[in-house]
Structure 1
Amino acid sequence: MDALTASLSLLRLEGIGPASYWQLVERFGSALAALRQPPENLTRKLPDRARAQLAEFQRLEMDSELGQWALAERQRCAEECIYLLHWEHDSYPALLKEITRPPPVLYLCGNPDTLSLPQIAVVGARRASRAGLDNAQAFAAELASSGFAITSGLALGVDAAAHKGALQGAGKTVAVLGTGVNRVYPRRNAVLAEQILAADGAIVSEMPLGTAPEAGNFPRRNRIISGLSVGTLLVEAAVRSGSLITARLALEQNREVFAIPGSIHNPLARGCHHMIKHGAHLVETSADIVEHLGGLLSGMAQQPGLFEEKAATAGVSLPGEQGAIIRALGGDPRSIEQLARDTGGDTGELMACLLHLELEGLVEQLPGGYQLTGSGARTLSALAES
């Protein structure tokens, strides 16, 4: 029995997850050696069903329930063109192997070589603001065009925007799932998953085929996102969120963490500010990240034209009233009353201008007021330069 089949069999044992797997491998030397141990040598907490599974394996090996499941799983992967990467295999990503107790086996759809590229994880809130989505997509596009693969979790919100940005930047992107790779979640992003594969990217999971989206799977998924990446960019996140867990894991894994600051009035900026206080690099453009990590792209052409250069040269033409509103909004949300006072305009004309700016994607409405989107913030920078 080879190492991959033995690992699949051990992981199928009732009550055994990655942590228990590594405890057993570290103690006995290999997955197969662990499977051949008497139940009392493994753990006192081994469930009754696991003891029965183990006893059957030791009698029948490949003809046992565990052995047959492992063979069937390998056959299904072969039929569906899904790669199985054992942690000892040459194609297993080297960075991921460095983390504490990495996934013993990775399931992968797409191009396995994508996992060897330098990756930046881009994570953030599912219910991000328009500004957060704009920033995620724009940062990802620029980083992808600079040679980084963009890694995220295919969730709604920032994750999806990051994958789309990577595709927009003609780069590669890696989606890490908390389900089986043949069960894309959420289903709303099924088309996006197809686009990722069509662009020579990859969809990855440590979960067996068909695994459902259970809540406990996603923290495990997060350690893979950060573990694959040389750095993690936090776009928007609440203080208690999965995205913040990913950023903390990245710090624990000795990886770089970057965070985009936001308004002190935006609750989704608090997670970013928290991470900046605890060691994350404050970034305002993708150039900040490329400059910090660019040495990892030796031999890759870094394409010019990052945010600040585009903003300065794009040439902004806005009617005076709209430009005044952009300037009045600045970096913080403002109410209608505050904008009317700051611009000195009539409320009816102000509402018409705000509607136009919202349709142009430069501002977004919040409860009680308006704020700039990512495009609006870059427009503000360009206005300041003009």
Structure 2
Amino acid sequence: MNSKVILTLLNIPKVSRNTVRFIFSNTTYIPKTKNDIVDLFAHFHQRNKRIPIPSYDDISKAIEKTYLIIDKSEQQNINLISILDEAFPESLRNIPDSPVLLYYKGNYNSVLNNHSVAIIGTRTPTTHGIGVAEKLGMTFGKDGFTVVSGLAYGCDEFGHKGCIKSKGQTVAVMAGGLDTVYPSKNKDLAKLILDTDGCLISEYPIGVRPFKSSFVERDRLQSGLSAAVIVVETDVKGGTLHTVSDAILQKKILVCYKHPDQYLNDKQSQGNQMLIANGDAIPLANETDIENLKNKIIKGDYNKPNFYCEQRFDQLKLL
């Protein structure tokens, strides 16, 4: 019921997730009819004139679209959960710009695992970086940690694969509707994630193709779902730094793989070196570092890590 309400509101023209979040941050009232929806928006329009008051026709069309999306989703075993539901991930509920509706396919319990790490990085890693991503996926997966990533080529892909090899559970955060796997060459990997008790998750409904800004938007979910974000390889510019910025803003543990000396001239290690040198990230170089990170996550010692520096967030956004 809650998911249908949220989806209907999102389907109304000029209503964003920010509007929906604002409304339900200030009321526990759940509208059940068209009149209820009009009254709800009229009430909040008085508080914020930018909130529109929808017409009955807009609401009718939104309801039709909602049932169409739900019907098509059910045909593909895609489920919905809203921020009004008790089972909504607590890790996402209170992050900046939190999602209000999630679509998922597969084992939802893997999404709720508090012992989770995001393994991320460049789409063009070095051969050494590929090995590191896969090893990290295996190391965390075998010990019951959920490995979160974005199903992208490169570091993401091999983080997922390593976790699966260790018979662990992995979650892929998608930048479009779950009926489309992007990149298409990772369709088999997406199926393997589902076959091994993992999960695909997105805030976009069926039929929505990935677009440029959706990749940036999904990055906040990768870090949000994770207790720690591990950067395998990144240059000083690139998509990985969006997730890094989100991790800093969300006060997550931020870790960067520390490359051996022979790889320090590779451009794929330059971002790692920058983040470590600036004090934004903990260096991760050996088994001891990995075990220390696991223990920190297990103890729940990650709400306000002592290396968090809010000023750095604004600088990273400019990169």
1 CA distance for matches of 2:38 and 2:98?
A: 20
Give the direction of change, closer, same or farther, for the CA distance of 1:295–1:266 in structure 2 (3 Å limit).
closer
1:211 alignment partner, one of 197, 208, 212? 208
Deviations 1:307-345 (A, max 9, x none): xxxxxxxxxxxxxxxxxxxxxxxxxxxxxxxxxxxxxxx
Give the direction of change, closer, same or farther, for the CA distance of 1:13–1:121 in structure 2 (3 Å limit).
same
Give the direction of change, closer, same or farther, for the CA distance of 1:216–1:30 in structure 2 (3 Å limit).
farther
Aligned with 2:243: secondary structure? helix
Letter of the structure 2 residue corresponding to residue 180 of structure 1: G
Give the direction of change, closer, same or farther, for the CA distance of 1:271–1:17 in structure 2 (3 Å limit).
farther
Letter of the structure 2 residue corresponding to residue 229 of structure 1: S
Give the direction of change, closer, same or farther, for the CA distance of 1:255–1:34 in structure 2 (3 Å limit).
farther
1:74 alignment partner, one of 50, 62, 70? 70
Shift, 1:108, TM fit: 0.4
Instruction: Name the structure 1 match of 2:280.
Output: 279
Instruction: Report which of the two has the higher share of helix.
Output: 1
Letter of the structure 1 residue corresponding to residue 23 of structure 2: L
Instruction: Name the structure 2 match of 1:234.
Output: 231
Identity %: 25
TM-score (norm 2): 0.83
1 CA distance for matches of 2:4 and 2:165?
A: 39
Shift, 1:264, TM fit: 3.3
Aligned with 1:223: secondary structure? helix
Shift, 1:18, TM fit: 2.4
1:294 maps onto 2:299 in alignment: no
Instruction: Name the structure 2 match of 1:256.
Output: 253
1:155 maps onto 2:152 in alignment: yes
1:94 maps onto 2:90 in alignment: yes
Listed as ranges, the matches of 1:119-130 within 5 Å are 119-130=116-127
Give the direction of change, closer, same or farther, for the CA distance of 1:288–1:3 in structure 2 (3 Å limit).
same
Instruction: Name the structure 1 match of 2:4.
Output: 5
Letter of the structure 2 residue corresponding to residue 74 of structure 1: I
- Runs of 5+ in structure 2 lacking a partner? 300-319
Letter of the structure 2 residue corresponding to residue 98 of structure 1: N
TM-score (norm 1): 0.69
Question: Are 2:2 and 2:85, in contact at CA under 8 Å, matched by a contact in 1?
Answer: no
Letter of the structure 2 residue corresponding to residue 218 of structure 1: F
Instruction: Name the structure 1 match of 2:267.
Output: 267
Structure having greater relative contact order (Cα 8 Å, sep ≥ 6): 2
Question: Are 1:155 and 1:185, in contact at CA under 8 Å, matched by a contact in 2?
Answer: yes
Aligned with 2:74: secondary structure? helix
Letter of the structure 2 residue corresponding to residue 76 of structure 1: K
- Runs of 5+ in structure 1 lacking a partner? 299-386
Deviations 1:76-121 (A, max 9, x none): 2222211211112232222122312321111000001111222100
Deviations 1:9-48 (A, max 9, x none): 11122333322332333355557466532395486557xx
Please give the root-mean-square deviation of Cα atoms over the aligned residues, in Å.
2.3
1:188 maps onto 2:185 in alignment: yes
2 CA distance for matches of 1:289 and 1:253?
A: 21
Give the direction of change, closer, same or farther, for the CA distance of 1:286–1:192 in structure 2 (3 Å limit).
farther
Instruction: Name the structure 2 match of 1:65.
Output: 61
Give the direction of change, closer, same or farther, for the CA distance of 1:287–1:172 in structure 2 (3 Å limit).
farther
Question: Are 1:237 and 1:269, in contact at CA under 8 Å, matched by a contact in 2?
Answer: yes
Question: Are 1:141 and 1:167, in contact at CA under 8 Å, matched by a contact in 2?
Answer: yes
Instruction: Name the structure 1 match of 2:13.
Output: 14
Which has more radius of gyration?
A: 1
Question: Are 1:233 and 1:257, in contact at CA under 8 Å, matched by a contact in 2?
Answer: yes
Letter of the structure 2 residue corresponding to residue 292 of structure 1: L
Question: Are 1:141 and 1:169, in contact at CA under 8 Å, matched by a contact in 2?
Answer: yes
Aligned with 2:229: secondary structure? strand
Instruction: Name the structure 2 match of 1:145.
Output: 142
Aligned with 2:92: secondary structure? helix
Aligned with 2:55: secondary structure? helix
1 CA distance for matches of 2:126 and 2:38?
A: 50
Deviations 1:140-192 (A, max 9, x none): 11111122111000001111111111111110100000010111101000000
Aligned with 1:259: secondary structure? strand
1 CA distance for matches of 2:37 and 2:125?
A: 45
Letter of the structure 2 residue corresponding to residue 21 of structure 1: V
Aligned with 1:151: secondary structure? strand
Larger mean CA deviation between 141-150 and 22-31 belongs to 22-31
1:244 alignment partner, one of 241, 246, 249? 241
2 CA distance for matches of 1:88 and 1:283?
A: 38
Letter of the structure 1 residue corresponding to residue 15 of structure 2: I
1 CA distance for matches of 2:176 and 2:38?
A: 26
